[in-house]
Structure 1
Amino acid sequence: MPLALINNPRSRKNRRCLDRFTKRARHCLADRFFEPRTQAELRSVIEKLHRQSIRTIAISGGDGTISDVMTALYHVYGEDDLPELAIFPSGNSNLIARDVGFKSRGRRAFERLLHDPQSLTKEKRGTLRINWTDQGAQLRIGMFHGTTGFTRAIEIAHSPHLLRFAPHNLAVAATLIATLWKLLHRKYRNMWLDGDRLRLECDGAVRSDGPSFLFISTALDRLTMGMWPFWDGDADPRRNPTGLRFLNVSGHPQHLWRAVRLLVRGRSPNWLRQHPSYHSDRVDSLTMTCPSDFILDGEKFSSGPSRQVTLSNGPQFQFLHD
């Protein structure tokens, strides 16, 4: 099948597998192997693939790379003509790959896609679409969004010491430890627990307007190690393919440690669902007004001068995986 591969050479695992994977992919694909270094180069690559009618695109990189490629594909191919995607997990953050990507990595995943595509699973999944209220900012496509306390936590995770010296799993653990230390230390506790003012309008109705300790939203169906901090009244909301899920934790939330212990195990008992400090739902769209920057698939963005963005159901992509 006509196959192209977009590779992020800066990702940790791609740097380690340069000889085994990158050279093999470059040899097999020739001028359909790409390593764009900038957004402009990526846009040019996607325009070339569209002219060549390439219908299957593999991505080797982390969540940020996947979000960049999906955004470019949306703008160039159009929502009704999107190609199939094959995700090879190789970044510092691989939430998307763990849900809709290959379980195998590097050369093994590439050989399977190249020589035995008929044996792969095809899965159609929705995304998040983010629009800025301010004019001039192009919309973006992604899978996992967060703001307020989530932005602070990611800034810790992206510190040079963690990214340079810790493997991904250790970096995540160190991030959790550092975040908990901030909450336990009197100097930082109130700043974190106060949160940021967040106004949420969901499907046209105001849901909340007050301090938010943490806000996250996703189009994924699965997170790391069984974590699932979302609910909306269904026995298993992950089985319903429509709507984006979100969790908003208010400032100075009650029973925080108890709630964390439950949510990291994918549990949300009735007392948690009914507690005013914790609000989760599944909606078609929500408009957020917040002074905090936000994170989309591991990358930080400003919400613009108006501090307002709208999250909604994005285009559906078909993913190939083993």
Structure 2
Amino acid sequence: MYGTIYEFETLPTVGEQRPRSAPRPARQARRGRAVPLVGIIRNPRSHRNKGHAPEMEDCSNILTETPRTRTDLYRVLEGFAQRGIDYLVVDGGDGTVRDVLTCGADVFGNHWPAFIVLPKGKTNALAIDLGLPNHWSLAEALAAAHRGNTLVRSPLRVSSRDGSAGCIQGFIFGTGAFALATEAGQEAHRRGAFNSFAVGLTVLWGIIQTLFGRAGNPWRSSTPTRLIDRETGRDLPYDGRGNPNERFMAVATTFEKFPLGAKPFGRDVPAGMKLAVIDWPVRWVIALLPLILMFGIMGRFLDRSGAHRFATSAIDLDIEGPYILDGEAFPAGNYVLEEGPAITFVVP
């Protein structure tokens, strides 16, 4: 939690701490609690947590933890499960949510407690999807939980195809140019741009580089990538110029709302996992990206030029470059990308 939990060279294996054959920790029966038991994972280094004390930490029903390593986080979540918490609170940014979802995969499986997100990071894309205010206190969140205000979302799950490692879970997955955009976004953060403003600057910078970059510019290159629909066993369509075994960019998410009010998957956003792919950086397609992103413009003319949208529940992914999950880079390899468990989130 202090810095990154994961190292780039190794896919995180949530099974390291406890063999997969071992029984899941038993969750205590809830005995009609008048006051809910709340477990908080707090990242004190998140953007809006620095210099601030934890909320409501003196309350006997509030269990606040600040794990420093992946092993610590796993053990804290296992303890929360054994005590049968009613609400799991993530006090941090999108990366902290990813860490909790990943380390908790082997603890909670498909049966998670209700999730509360206190958006304290630099981008907070999940908060935008859930409709959370930028400054949402724990007291306000618990009041909303008492009213029964919830939404259900499933994270994406990335796992090694051969089953040799565990899984990573998060909400925004990207390859190719998306990895470059993530680096540019980090630079925007260092210069003081956050949330939707940082996203807008990053998109604009990427479009400029791709439009006007010369040969050799990394924004004009593609990454060896193979995308296979697991239901049909067929490669996803490739159109236009370039090498059919390479893709300029692929982005997947289960979000239904996006920063800046963007509509990258159209006006009527389908639920579940969605995938957008650009096969090759055709300049006129890149020039249209602001319209595609903001107004959901799509058509056969874009499909024929290598800009695609897919609605699918799972794909096999072979990639020879890094991929990004919620702002963190992970190594090349052969993976399965699919929907994870349905999780109930508390919303205003």
| Matched-pair identity in % | 24
Which residue is 2:339 aligned to? 313
Q: In the aligned structure 2, how far is the partner of 1:274 from the partner of 1:181?
A: 22
Structure 1 position 60, deviation (Å):
1.4
Q: In the aligned structure 1, how far is the partner of 2:161 from the partner of 2:77?
A: 26
SS at match of 2:182: helix
Give unmatched runs, 5+ long, in structure 2.
1-35, 238-243
TM-score by length of 1: 0.86
- Check conservation: 1:254, 1:277, Cα contact below 8 A: no
Which is richer in helix?
A: 1
> 1:84 and 2:114 equivalent?
yes
Q: In the aligned structure 2, how far is the partner of 1:211 from the partner of 1:192?
A: 14
- Check conservation: 1:183, 1:189, Cα contact below 8 A: no
CA RMSD of aligned residues (A): 2.3
> 1:141 and 2:186 equivalent?
no
Structure 1 position 181, deviation (Å):
4.3
TM-score by length of 2: 0.80
Which residue is 2:48 aligned to? 13
Which residue is 1:57 aligned to? 88
Match 2:294 to one of 260, 265, 268? 265
Which residue is 1:301 aligned to? 330
Structure 1 position 281, deviation (Å):
0.9
- Check conservation: 1:249, 1:277, Cα contact below 8 A: yes
> 1:248 and 2:277 equivalent?
yes
Structure 1 position 317, deviation (Å):
0.2
Residue by residue over 1:27-74, the C-alpha shift from the partner in whole angstroms, topping out at 9 and shown as x without a partner, is: 235760111121111101101101101121111111111111112222
Residue by residue over 1:217-262, the C-alpha shift from the partner in whole angstroms, topping out at 9 and shown as x without a partner, is: 001111111212225xxx72x2x43x41001101232522442121
Which residue is 2:308 aligned to? 279
Structure 1 position 273, deviation (Å):
5.1
Q: How does 1:26-65 map to 2 (within 5 A)?
A: 26-28=57-59, 32-65=63-96
Match 1:224 to one of 254, 259, 263? 259
Structure 1 position 136, deviation (Å):
3.5
Give unmatched runs, 5+ long, in structure 1.
none
Match 2:199 to one of 159, 165, 172? 172
Residue by residue over 1:136-184, the C-alpha shift from the partner in whole angstroms, topping out at 9 and shown as x without a partner, is: 421111111000110111122224xx33331314543443344244335
Q: In the aligned structure 1, how far is the partner of 2:81 from the partner of 2:200?
A: 41
Structure 1 position 188, deviation (Å):
6.0
Which residue is 1:157 aligned to? 185
Residue by residue over 1:160-212, the C-alpha shift from the partner in whole angstroms, topping out at 9 and shown as x without a partner, is: xx333313145434433442443355456654223112211013211144321
Match 2:128 to one of 93, 98, 113? 98
Q: In the aligned structure 2, how far is the partner of 1:31 from the partner of 1:55?
A: 11
SS at match of 2:249: strand
Q: 1:27 to 1:14 in 2, by over 3 A?
A: same
SS at match of 1:287: strand
SS at match of 2:236: strand
Which residue is 2:106 aligned to? 75
> 1:201 and 2:232 equivalent?
no
Letter aligned with residue 168 of structure 1: F
Q: 1:193 to 1:105 in 2, by over 3 A?
A: same
- Check conservation: 1:12, 1:90, Cα contact below 8 A: yes
> 1:127 and 2:158 equivalent?
no
Q: In the aligned structure 2, how far is the partner of 1:149 from the partner of 1:104?
A: 28
Q: In the aligned structure 1, how far is the partner of 2:130 from the partner of 2:143?
A: 20
Q: In the aligned structure 1, how far is the partner of 2:301 from the partner of 2:69?
A: 44
- Check conservation: 2:206, 2:219, Cα contact below 8 A: no
SS at match of 1:222: coil
Q: 1:221 to 1:189 in 2, by over 3 A?
A: farther
Q: In the aligned structure 1, how far is the partner of 2:319 from the partner of 2:44?
A: 34
Which is richer in strand?
A: 1
